[in-house]
Amino acid sequence: MKKVLVTGADGFIGSHLTENLLEKGYDVKAFTMYNSFNTWGWLDSLPKEKLEQIEIFCGDVRDPNGVREAMKGVDAVFHLAALIAIPFSYHSPDSYVDTNIKGTLNILQAARELETERILITSTSEVYGTAQYVPIDEKHPFQGQSPYSATKIGADRLAESFYRSFQLPVSIVRPFNTYGPRQSARAVIPTIIAQLLAGREEIKLGSLTPTRDFNYVKDTTAGFIAIAESEQTIGEEINIATQREISIGELAEEIINQINPGAHIVCDEERLRPEKSEVNRLLGSNEKIRRLTKWEPQYTFEQGIAETIEWISHHLESYKYDIYNV
């Protein structure tokens, strides 16, 4: 497996994965969302010498012909392209079905036709809904608590069906909440950091009680590569998790203490999810990924937060910290 395609390479995790694959000597083709501005998302921020090593393919995962063209001649596909914002899925669910379900189907169909050696489909811990037991292992029931999570459940089950029906060499990769440099302001950690760095004394947040299992992005991408490089992971769905949880309130206090201990949190009603849609607890089991691969998390939460603060402090102009970003 030498030539790989990363869909969603222009996004947060996808751009880091593209870099990580390059560092490991892979020949990388980056599938980015076509737009008339000719922007390649976060890939535009990479050093010129790195960008020159990447083959860029602009397209749309919703288009089956474009997907097939992009996948010609590659040994493996890391499929990350998706719509991911939960609040946006409340009012635009059709676009989530088109991108997350139909887009994944296009990848699977092309892989079957082209006999692609490995396909990694990106899932999310949101497919589990609020934890019914912890740590959440891969046998935990699924619960569609938002249109977003419902479409990811649908995409995962399609991937499973192609493995079972056509022996397609699929692995379903299920990262728990990932954070780090380049993450958009719609996520909680950049929201807190950007407000603090902008000098705000009142930090606007939604519910403070939900807990999350946060992966630093470099650990997440190392998990993707470890899963791709193991033969034992074919036909499996695999969590990437730290097996540690922290509440949003505790998380905010940790970041406040690192930047401005005088700041305090206020609840912003606009940021609250509908009661039955809020996922109250996510704590993932990483037993399976550690058993099937050599992956281990390399970053502590404190180290990851410090690197993220450092990066956002140099890119604050990219963040609209005065509004609620959906």
Segment 159-207, tens digit of pLDDT: 999 999 999 999 999 999 999 999 988 888 999 999 999 999 998 888 8
Q: Per the structure block, which two tokens stand in for 122?
A: 């990106």
Instruction: Return the closest-CA partner of residue 152 out of 85, 68, 210.
Output: 85
pTM of the model: 0.95
Residue 323 has pLDDT above 70, yes or no: no
DSSP state of 37: T
Which residues lie closer than 8 Å to 250 by C-beta, 6 or more apart?
Answer: none
Q: How confident is the model at residue 12 (pLDDT cuts 50, 70, 90)?
A: very high
Residue 220 has pLDDT above 70, yes or no: yes
Strand intervals (E) in the chain: 3-7, 27-33, 55-59, 76-79, 118-122, 170-175, 178-179, 202-205, 211-212, 215-216, 237-240, 246-247, 264-267
Q: What are the residue ranges spanned by the domains of the chain? A: 3-178+215-240, 181-212+245-281+302-318
pLDDT for 324 equals: 58
Q: How far is CA 95 from the centre of its chain?
A: 18
Dump the DSSP string for 247-258. Answer: EHHHHHHHHHHH
What's the CATH number for 3-178+215-240? 3.40.50.720
Q: Where are the alpha helices (DSSP H) in 115-240?
A: 147-166, 188-197, 217-228
CB contact at 8 A, 89 and 148: yes
Q: With bands split at pLDDT 50, 70 and 90, how would you rate the model's confidence at 97?
A: very high
Torsion region of 111: left, alpha or beta (phi above 0 gives left; psi -120 to 50 gives alpha):
alpha
Q: What are phi and psi of 105, to 5 degrees?
A: -60, -40
Fold of 181-212+245-281+302-318: UDP-galactose 4-epimerase; domain 1 (3.90.25)
Res 157 pLDDT > 60: yes
pLDDT band at 1 (very low <50, low <70, confident <90, very high): low
Confirm if 286 and 243 have CB atoms less than 8 A apart.
yes
- CB-based contacts of 44: which residues, under 8 Å, 6+ apart? none
pLDDT at 215 over 70: yes
Q: How far is CA 9 from the centre of its chain?
A: 11
pLDDT tens digits, residue range 98-118? 999 999 999 999 999 999 999
Range 256-279 average pLDDT: 83
pLDDT band at 274 (very low <50, low <70, confident <90, very high): confident
Q: In the structure encoding, which two tokens stand for residue 312, read together? A: 């956002």
